[in-house]
Structure 1
Amino acid sequence: MEEKMATAVLVNSDLPYGHILCHEKWRTSSLLQGLKGVKILFEKELGVADFHLPSKTRLLYVSECDIIAGNSYKRKLVRYRNASSSFQELVLVERTRLSEQYFSALQRFVVFDLGLSLLPVSGPTEASQLITQIVHGEGRENPFRRKTSGRLLDSVTLTLIQQIPGVGRIKALTLMHNFPSLKEISNASPAELEAVVGEGSAQQIHSFFHVNFITGT
C-alpha cells in the first residue's frame, strides 16, 4: 500500500530539474541510451504515457512499428487523451520512409480529432535529443515550460496551417491570433473564417477541413 501511494505521488508530481520518469518497458531501448545528462527513474505504473518530464509534461511515443502494425495504437492515443490530467500532453511520432504514407492520416487524427500536440521525429536519436532539450531547458528557457510552451508548439501549428492551399504565413498567423486551436479553426463556419481572412480564403480553408479531412477525399 505504501509503495502504491509513493508511486502515485511520484507520477502526479512535477519532476525536479534533470529527471524523467520512464515506463519500465523502455529500460533497454536505444532512445534512452541517447539521453545526455538526464537522471532516469523507472516505473511500471505510468498509465498510458511512456514518459513524464519536468514542467508537468507527459509524452507518448508512437514508433514506426506501431504505425505499420495497424490501428491499435489509435486506441492508445484516445486513452491518452481521455486520461484526466493536469499535464501538458505531447505525442512523438516516428516519421520515416516506411511510415511516411501513413503520417498525414495520423497527423490529422492526433491534432484535429484528438486535439493533442504532435511532434514528428526521424527516430530514437532525434527523440532523445528532443527529450534532452525539454529536460535541460528547465531552469533556462525551456520551450515546453507551461508559461512559454506555446513557442515551439505554436511553430508546429503554424507549419500545419500553412499546408492549407492558399494560406501563407501572414494568414496563418492571423488565424492563430483569432482562433485558440487547430480544432477551433477546423470547426469554424465559412462566415467566421471570412471575418478573419476574407471570403476566398475562408472557402478554401473550410473546404480543406471538411472535404480532405472529414470525407478523406
Structure 2
Amino acid sequence: MAGIECTPVRAGASSVPCGHAIGSEKWRGTELARLLQGKIKLVFEDGLGLVDFHLSNRTCILYISESDLVSGNAFRRRLVRFRKACNLNGIVIAEKTRLSDQYYPPVQNFVVLELGMALLPVTNQNEAAQLIFNLVQERSREGNSNPFMRKKCFQLPDASLLQTVQKIPGVGKVKALQLLQHFPSIHKLSNASVAQLETVVGRTIALSIHSFFTQ
C-alpha cells in the first residue's frame, strides 16, 4: 500500500505501444485478463497505483466492480485522487448489474458531472473485455492517423455522457450533441460562459445550463 500512496499514478503511461495494454498485477489470473489476452497484447506490471489498465495515447482505465459499487464509497476516493494526481485521459468502467443498478445513477453523476470523466457501464467482465479491446483498437487508429486531420471529425460522445447532458433542463438529444461538439467534456461545458453557450443553443437554454452548473 505504501507504494501506491507514494505513486498514485505511475509515470510513463504515454509510452504504451499501439495495440498493447499494461494491466495492474492484481488482474493477473482473472477472467477479464484471460479474455483480454486472447484479443490484445496484455502485459502485467506492479506499481500502477490507482490505475487498472494503461492504454496508448495517455489513456487509463479505472475499473469499478459490482462489489465496489455495493460496498461503499472507497472507489470514489480513488477516482478523486486519480483526477487530482495527473492529466491523463481517465475512462471509468463500472459493472452495472441487477445488484448494483440502484447504486449506478449517483455514481454516474459523480464521475461525469463532478469529475468530468467518461463512464462506461458493463454487465460482466466479458463485456468489459470487449469494451477494452475496442478502446485499444480506437487508440491504435488514433495513433496511426494524421494528427492534422484528426480534429476535423466530430466523434460521437459515449452514451453515458450524452444521457447526463440531456438531464439538464431544456436540453434534448439534438442540443446535447451540439453542446458536446463545442464543449467535449462536462468540465468544459460546466465552465462555459453564458455568451459561449448562447452561440450554440440560444439565450434561454444557455441561461438554464449556466444556472444548472452554478446552483
Q: Give the TM-score, by structure 2 length.
A: 0.76
2:185 is the alignment partner of 1:181: yes
Mean CA deviation greater in 178-187 or 54-63:
178-187
Structure 2 distance, partners of 1:120, 1:181, is 18
**Equivalent position of 1:56 in the other structure:** 58
| 2:65–2:95 Cα contact (<8 Å) kept | yes
Gaps of 5+ in 1: 1-7, 212-217
Structure 1 distance, partners of 2:213, 2:66, is 26
| 1:117–1:153 Cα contact (<8 Å) kept | no
Question: Root-mean-square deviation (CA), in Å?
Answer: 3.0
Mean CA deviation greater in 74-83 or 186-195:
186-195
2:97 is the alignment partner of 1:96: yes
**Equivalent position of 2:173 in the other structure:** 169
1:57-206 map, 5 Å: 57-85=59-87, 87-140=88-141, 147=150, 151-153=155-157, 156-188=160-192, 193=197, 196-202=200-206, 204-206=208-210
TM-aligned CA deviation for residue 32 of structure 1: 1.4
What amino acid maps onto 2:83 in structure 1? R
Instruction: For residues 22-47 of structure 1, give each alpha carbon's deviation from its aligned partner in whole angstroms, at most 9, with x where no partner exists.
Output: 11111121111222332221111101
Mean CA deviation greater in 159-168 or 61-70:
159-168
TM-aligned CA deviation for residue 209 of structure 1: 4.6
What amino acid maps onto 1:174 in structure 2? Q
**Equivalent position of 2:20 in the other structure:** 19
The count of corresponding residues between Structure 1 and Structure 2 is 199
Helix, strand or coil for the counterpart of 1:134?
helix
Helix, strand or coil for the counterpart of 1:166?
coil
What amino acid maps onto 2:161 in structure 1? T
Mean CA deviation greater in 163-172 or 146-155:
146-155
| 1:18–1:37 Cα contact (<8 Å) kept | no
Q: Indicate the percent of aligned positions where both proteins have the same amino acid.
A: 46
Pick closer, same or farther for the CA change 1:174–1:115 going to 2, 3 Å: same
| 1:38–1:132 Cα contact (<8 Å) kept | yes
Instruction: For residues 130-172 of structure 1, give each alpha carbon's deviation from its aligned partner in whole angstroms, at most 9, with x where no partner exists.
Output: 1111223454468xxx957972546653332223343223322
Mean CA deviation greater in 55-64 or 180-189:
180-189
Structure 2 distance, partners of 1:55, 1:141, is 8
TM-aligned CA deviation for residue 203 of structure 1: 5.2
TM-aligned CA deviation for residue 183 of structure 1: 2.7
Instruction: For residues 165-201 of structure 1, give each alpha carbon's deviation from its aligned partner in whole angstroms, at most 9, with x where no partner exists.
Output: 4322332233234435323433556676456434543
Structure 2 distance, partners of 1:152, 1:119, is 14
Gaps of 5+ in 2: 1-9
Instruction: For residues 117-136 of structure 1, give each alpha carbon's deviation from its aligned partner in whole angstroms, at most 9, with x where no partner exists.
Output: 21122221111001111223
| 1:51–1:59 Cα contact (<8 Å) kept | yes
TM-aligned CA deviation for residue 89 of structure 1: 1.5
Q: Give the TM-score, by structure 1 length.
A: 0.75
